[in-house]
């Protein structure tokens, strides 16, 4: 019985379907009694890499062939610590890069680039291709491989994507060191010069229960925990329903992953031990760190908000203190104004009473004035007639005018040169029947 089971699948991404581009991912897996291997390659979607689908296929085939050869050469090694296994792996990586380059150059020579293909490249790269330069770039792709033998576990990688190993107790880890040059859409590639120097790898005598390799189209469709659970689901289908059913479910799921996630091509290859029970993945340490960092960031943000709110509180306290001082001043001013207001109201009421009393007196005086005016006219008529009879002159102009306006006859003019002064001997009110004493002075 083979110690490990294998399966692999790859599928065209939704974005490639929409653009009518081919699938540029490829996957393979292999197993026998001495080794199990899983390989995937992701062709670059760049227009300059218009044969990356072929490049990815060549990469998987060459890598798998060399892994089998590598195991045959190193089958005598029972403990990798007793030899320079690092150099053996480096030699394998150099050979993969060299054979891949030789293969793509041979393919380009036997199948020259068509005008339609060259049209996809930039003007600069198109000129290089026409001059026979940098041909391997048209086939650019990544590569990830995992291999388990009876004595060691080996995984190697160039470019982006994921390599995950699962151990008892739900321990899922990413053993291959990260590549700092894989940022955003940038990735190291088999088409790079000195590509062998861009390989990263991991090997150990501790064998995993399962190993998974996948392209970035799968990786970018999940968070870390979600990706590990997806891988675990594949092994569950393996265990519960068999390899054929697991492969069917994986093949049906990959297009949904692309459509609901990255939209990119997707590829997965898996090896699973037939011994030991694989548990559901524990929360990865990286995710624990993320949560701790998220909480720490949240605390920092809350502390910042508290500090900012406290600053606002201090500003409001100063405002309240100033406002209270101003309010005290205003209250005093209002109290003084109220005092003045009520005093003015009282004075106004007193003045209204005084005006009312004076109005009454005026009304009485007005009545008296009417009577006095009437009496005055009667008196004038009487006296002016008497003056006229006596020949008394010396009345003022206004009096003369009033006499002339009266119904009585105008008195005769005095012809004497001596001044005449009329003096009333009494201030008593005369009447038609009364006689007044008049003293005439000449």
- Confidence band, pLDDT 50/70/90 cuts, at residue 186: confident
- Enter the pTM of the model: 0.69
Instruction: Say if residue 168 is in the same domain as residue 259.
Output: yes
Kindly report which listed range (194-208, 287-301, 413-427) carries the lowest average pLDDT score. Answer: 413-427
**Total Cβ atoms within 10 A of residue 413:** 7
Say whether pLDDT at 171 is over 50. yes
Instruction: Say if residue 228 is in the same domain as residue 123.
Output: yes
- Confidence band, pLDDT 50/70/90 cuts, at residue 395: low
According to the model, what pLDDT value does residue 85 have? 94
Instruction: Say if residue 353 is in the same domain as residue 242.
Output: no
Calpha distance 3→146 (Å, rounded): 15
Instruction: Say if residue 28 is in the same domain as residue 145.
Output: yes
According to the model, what pLDDT value does residue 291 have? 82
For the chain, the average pLDDT equals: 87
Query: 193 phi and psi, to 5 degrees?
Result: -65, 145
Calpha distance 321→301 (Å, rounded): 30
| 181-190, 288-297, 418-427 — most confident range | 288-297
**Total Cβ atoms within 10 A of residue 252:** 11
Instruction: Say if residue 14 is in the same domain as residue 127.
Output: yes
Instruction: Say if residue 133 is in the same domain as residue 235.
Output: yes
According to the model, what pLDDT value does residue 344 have? 92
Query: 131 phi and psi, to 5 degrees?
Result: -90, 5
Percent of the chain with pLDDT strictly greater than 90 = 73
Calpha distance 378→409 (Å, rounded): 14
- Confidence band, pLDDT 50/70/90 cuts, at residue 285: confident
In a domain, 19, yes or no: yes
Instruction: Say if residue 340 is in the same domain as residue 240.
Output: no
Say whether pLDDT at 209 is over 80. yes
Kindly report which listed range (28-37, 128-137, 427-436) carries the lowest average pLDDT score. Answer: 427-436
Q: Which domain CATH number covers 43?
A: 3.60.40.10
CB 59 within 8 A of CB 32: no
In a domain, 147, yes or no: yes
Q: How far is CA 146 from CA 33, 36, 202, in A?
A: 16, 8, 9
Instruction: Say if residue 320 is in the same domain as residue 238.
Output: no
The boundaries of the domain holding residue 136 are: 4-282
Q: Tell me the pLDDT tens digit for each residue of 62-107.
A: 999 999 999 999 888 888 988 899 999 999 999 999 999 999 999 9
- Confidence band, pLDDT 50/70/90 cuts, at residue 218: very high
Domain boundary among 228, 248, 282: 282
Domain boundary among 231, 259, 282: 282
Which is more confidently placed, 117 or 393?
117
Give, as one character, the DSSP assignment of residue 43.
B
Say whether pLDDT at 434 is over 60. no
Q: Tell me the pLDDT tens digit for each residue of 359-385.
A: 999 999 999 999 999 999 999 999 999
Q: Which two tokens stand for residue 2?
A: 């083979």
* Look-up of token digits 């692309």: 258
Domain boundary among 259, 282, 305: 282
* Look-up of token digits 């940098």: 134
According to the model, what pLDDT value does residue 435 have? 35
Q: Which residues contact 255 (CB under 8 A, 6 or more apart)?
A: 11, 12, 14, 266
Instruction: Say if residue 395 is in the same domain as residue 308.
Output: yes
In a domain, 288, yes or no: no
Instruction: Say if residue 342 is in the same domain as residue 198.
Output: no
Calpha distance 164→244 (Å, rounded): 22
According to the model, what pLDDT value does residue 75 have? 87
Q: How many domains does the chain have?
A: 2
Query: 119 phi and psi, to 5 degrees?
Result: -60, -25
According to the model, what pLDDT value does residue 339 have? 92
Instruction: Say if residue 170 is in the same domain as residue 49.
Output: yes
In a domain, 63, yes or no: yes
Provide the CB-side half-sphere exposure for 282 (13 A, CA).
Answer: 12
In a domain, 287, yes or no: no
Instruction: Say if residue 224 is in the same domain as residue 331.
Output: no
């Amino acid at each position: 019985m083979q110690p490990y089971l294998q399966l692999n699948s790859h599928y065209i991404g939704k974005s490639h379907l929409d653009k009518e581009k081919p699938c540029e991912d490829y996957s393979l897996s292999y197993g026998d009694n001495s080794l199990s291997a899983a390989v995937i390659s992701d062709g670059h979607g760049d227009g300059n890499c218009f044969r990356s689908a072929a490049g990815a296929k060549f990469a998987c085939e060459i890598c798998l062939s060399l892994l089998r050869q590598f195991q045959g050469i190193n089958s005598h090694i029972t403990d990798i610590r007793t030899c320079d296994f690092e150099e053996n792996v480096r030699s394998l990586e150099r050979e993969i890069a060299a054979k891949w380059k030789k293969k793509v150059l041979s393919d380009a020579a036997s199948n020259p680039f068509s005008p339609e293909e060259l049209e996809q490249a930039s003007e600069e790269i198109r000129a290089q291709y026409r001059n026979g330069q940098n041909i391997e770039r048209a086939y650019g792709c990544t590569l990830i491989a995992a291999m388990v033998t009876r004595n060691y576990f080996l995984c190697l990688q160039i470019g982006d994507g994921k390599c995950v190993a699962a151990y008892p107790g739900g321990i899922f880890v990413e053993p291959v060191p990260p590549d700092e040059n894989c940022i955003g859409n940038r990735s190291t590639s088999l088409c790079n010069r000195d590509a062998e120097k861009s390989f990263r790898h991991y090997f150990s005598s501790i064998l995993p229960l399962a190993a998974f390799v996948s392209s970035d189209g799968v990786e970018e469709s999940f968070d870390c925990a979600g990706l590990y659970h997806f891988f675990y689901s594949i092994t569950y289908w393996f265990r519960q329903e068999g390899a054929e059913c697991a492969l069917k479910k994986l093949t049906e799921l990959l297009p949904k992953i692309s459509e609901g996630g990255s939209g990119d091509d997707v590829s997965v290859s898996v090896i699973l031990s037939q011994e030991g029970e694989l548990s559901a993945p524990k929360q990865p340490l990286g995710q624990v760190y993320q949560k701790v960092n998220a909480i720490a960031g949240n605390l920092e943000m809350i502390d910042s908000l508290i500090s900012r709110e406290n600053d606002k509180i201090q500003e409001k306290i100063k405002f309240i203190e100033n406002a209270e001082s101003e309010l005290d001043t205003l209250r005093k001013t209002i109290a003084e104004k109220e005092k003045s207001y009520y005093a003015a109201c009282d004075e106004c009421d007193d003045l209204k009473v005084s005006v009312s009393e004076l109005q009454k007196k005026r009304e009485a005086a007005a009545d008296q004035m009417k009577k006095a005016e009437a009496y005055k006219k009667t008196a004038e008529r009487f006296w002016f007639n008497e003056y006229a009879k006596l020949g008394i002159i010396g009345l003022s102009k206004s009096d003369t005018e009033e006499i002339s306006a009266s119904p009585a006859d105008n008195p005769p003019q005095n012809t004497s040169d001596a001044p005449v002064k009329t003096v009333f001997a009494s201030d008593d009110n005369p009447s038609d029947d009364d006689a007044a004493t008049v003293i005439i002075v000449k």
